[in-house]
Amino acid sequence: MASTAPAPEYQAVTFYARPGKGTSGKPTTVKTNFFAMNCKDNGYWHHYDVSITPEKLPGKLARTIFYAAVDNHSEMFNGMRPVYDGRANAFTPKELPFRAETFNVVLPEEDGRVNPKRPPREFKLKFRWAAKINMEEQRQYVNSKAQISGGILTANQATDIVLRNEPSLRFTCAGRSFYTPVDSRPLGGGAEVWPGIFLSARPGPGRMLLNCDVSATAFHKQGSLIVYVSEILKCRGLNDLKAGIAPRDLSRVSKALKNIRIRVTHRGDKKPKFKIEKLAKEPANREMFEDRDGKSHNVAQYFQKTYNMRLEYPNL
């Protein structure tokens, strides 16, 4: 049943300028994880609203679609490459020659080929001018000559997105941090920890600052799926799986594998990616289905007939 409680009320926060710097005591130098930014251009930036349909795409795919549109229509962007936050905002240092435009983007399969049996991935990207940002207001604010305003908040957001744009394209993003599998360490249970770095642009006294900090988070361990399952179940070795998975462990494995992305390796040069939804109730040598010709096979038989592959674990 829907809640009948009233919606919370929100008020804008007012920031007050400091009255001055401390004069008592002995000056002390303190080292911090903030680095000064030299923002020479205090002109105007331009903010654009971005929407992609179908909606609710992961940030990595949204960036792929966005930059595919930019690259395919580079003449419309006058050689500029906008920065994009992977959601709904893009920024350029100069105004584009159009106020609003819609681009149709078709992405091929991950190996660069088009699969005639499956329609290509088609997306519609809408690009619309939203606002003109006076970056001089940001400079005035950090020099305590202006109060906080919506324009200054947008300028700070744009600066942050510009700094984070290139790392977003090169590394794995999670929250406001970027991670790499280089120097990763196993955690057990099919997980490993990746090192990363936190980045954020912040206004400071007299200049913008880059806040930089170390970070770490857990990821699913990359590699063979069967090895991953054995680690989830804490098997002594892969031979423990020859007998199958006990019913009490099946739900645990199914929950651990849900939404994990895998790349299949039995199709020769083609190695498409898929997302696991759930485990079948029956093992491969008992799970039956009909092929396109209406003939019934179990999964193990199908692999033998279609790919000349004998499954190593037909009882899973």
List pLDDT tens digits, range 128-170. Answer: 999 999 999 999 999 889 988 999 999 999 999 999 999 999 9
pLDDT at 22: 79
pTM beyond 0.85, yes or no:
no
Residue whose tokens read 């005591």: 25
Q: What is the pLDDT of residue 7?
A: 40
H and E: helices and strands count for the chain: 6, 15
Pair 158, 91: CB distance under 8 Å: yes
Q: How far apart are CA 49 and CA 134, in angstroms?
A: 17
Q: Indicate whether 271 pLDDT > 90.
A: no
**For 2-60, how does the pLDDT look when each residue is reduced to its tens digit (9 = 90+)?**
334 444 444 455 655 667 777 899 989 999 999 999 877 668 999 999 999 988 888 88
The confidence band for 273, taking pLDDT boundaries of 50, 70 and 90, is: confident
pLDDT tens per residue across span 275-316: 999 888 899 999 999 988 888 999 999 999 999 999 999 999
Greater pLDDT, 71 or 117: 71
Give me the residue spans of the domains in the chain. 42-169, 171-221, 223-279, 282-316
- Cα 281 to Cα 225: distance, rounded to the nearest angstrom: 18
pLDDT in tens, 196-251: 999 999 999 889 999 999 999 999 998 999 999 999 999 999 999 988 898 889 98
Q: Which among 241, 225, 242 is positioned nearest to 233, based on CA atoms?
A: 241
Secondary structure of residue 300 in the 3-state scheme: helix
Query: What's 222's DSSP letter?
Result: P
CB atoms within 10 A of CB 172: 16
Beta bridge partners of 198: 177, 213
